[in-house]
Amino acid sequence: MAGADEAIGMLDRSHKGEAAPDFAFADAKGVKTTLAAFAGKPVLLNLWATWCAPCVKEMPTLDALAQREGDALKVLTISQDLDGPTKVVPYFEKAGFKAIEAWTDPDLRFSVGLGANLPTTILYDAAGKEVWRMTGSMDWSNSAVKQLIAEAGAA
């Protein structure tokens, strides 16, 4: 589809096949995990922060995507806020998201380690290999999303 990439953000396939990083991140209570804990199903990893307006704008559409995909796709929204849960948990409570959870990475391992600006969203297949990454804000209800997600074996 000509022009589709421009309409949905900047699609980057140059990291295709790279293994997911083993960086630790934490849930709202501070319990740490890694992407390996979600092996066996595709993962859509969104790096964002409460201070990032384009990030905040796309969060409701990520929640809707997570609801629509259900168990076929894990949508992980990992905050890059330095204050971690102090900022993120109240934001999630106020927003009332139904399917996404408040994950944090206050050490910025993901954004620094992956050289990612915010927002950046990376799709990993069930084996933990990168399929593509999207740089910039996106409406995750866009008609092209289903086809993009299907590239990881979900949808």
pLDDT average, residue stretch 31-39: 96
Distance, C-alpha 139 to centroid of its chain: 13
Mean pLDDT value of segment 45-74: 96
What global pTM score does this model have? 0.92
Q: How many CB atoms lie within 10 A of CB 19?
A: 12
The lowest-confidence range among 6-10, 32-36, 38-42 is 6-10
Q: Once rounded to an integer, what is the mean pLDDT over residues 34-54?
A: 96
User: Model confidence over 121-132: pLDDT tens digits?
Assistant: 999 999 999 999
Q: What is the mean pLDDT of residues 75-95?
A: 95
Mean pLDDT calculated for residue range 82-110: 95
pLDDT band for 3, please (50, 70, 90 cuts): very low
Nearest to 46 by CA among 147, 145, 144: 145
pLDDT digit string (tens) for 103-115?
Answer: 999 999 999 999 9
pLDDT in tens, 17-31: 999 999 999 999 999
Type of residue numbered 96: G
List, as one string, the DSSP characters of the chain: -TTHHHHH-EEE-TTTTPBPP---EE-TT--EE-GGGGTTS-EEEEEE-TT-HHHHHHHHHHHHHHHHHGGG-EEEEEE--TTTHHHHHHHHHHHT-SS---EE-TT-HHHHHTTPPSSEEEEE-TTSBEEEEEES---TTSTTHHHHHHTTT--
Which residue in 39, 106, 109 sits closest to 79, CA to CA?
Answer: 106
The rounded distance, in Å, linking the Cα atoms of 91 and 100 is 12
